[in-house]
Amino acid sequence: MNSPTPANARISIIGAGPGGLTCARILQRHGIPVTVYDRDPDGSSRDQGGSLDLHEDDGQLALREAGLLEEFFALARFEGQEMRQMDPAGSVHAHHVPDVGDKDSPEIDRGQLRDLLLGSLAAGTVQWGRTLESVSGPADGPRTLTFIDGTAVEADLVIGADGAFSRVRTAVSPATPLYTGVSFLEAWFDDMEIAHPELSELVGKGSAHAADGERGLFAQRNSGGHMRVYIMRRVPMDWLAAKGLRPDDTEGIRAHLLGEYAAWSPRTLRMITDNDGAYVDRPILALPVPHTWEHSPSATLLGDAAHLMPPLGVGVNLAMLDASELALALVRSATIDDAVRDYEKTMLPRSIETARMLEGAAESLLAVPGPGEGRPGPAQP
Residue numbers in the known binding site are 46, 53, 110, 304
Helix %, strand %, coil % of the chain (to 5) = 35, 20, 45
SS3 284: strand
State how far the alpha carbon of 330 is from the alpha carbons of 316, 319, 336, 340, in Å.
21, 17, 7, 8
Q: In a 10 Å sphere around its CB, with 0-12 CB exposed, 13-18 middle and 19+ buried, how is residue 144 labelled?
A: middle
Binding residues for FAD: 53, 110, 304
Q: What is the dihedral of CA 129, 134, 136, 139, to 10 degrees?
A: 90
Residue 311, H or E segment: none
143-147, strands of its sheet edge to edge? 132-136, 143-147, 152-155
Calpha distance 271→260 (Å, rounded)? 14
Dihedral angle sign, alpha carbons of residues 67, 72, 73, 78: negative
Binding residues for NADPH: 46
Q: How far apart are the first and last CA of the chain?
A: 40
For residue 35, list its beta bridge partners: 12
Using DSSP bridges, classify how beta strands 207-211 and 83-86 pair: parallel, antiparallel or unpaired.
Answer: parallel
Query: CB–CB of 211/365 below 8 Å?
Result: yes
Per-residue buried b or exposed e for 55-88, using 16+ beta carbons within 10 Å of the residue's own CB: beebbbbbbebbebbeebeebbbbebbbbbbbbb
Residue 257 CB coordination number (10 Å):
20
Query: CB–CB of 98/78 below 8 Å?
Result: yes
Calpha distance 174→266 (Å, rounded)? 47
Query: CB–CB of 365/379 below 8 Å?
Result: no
Q: What are residue 366's phi and psi, to 5 degrees?
A: -100, -10
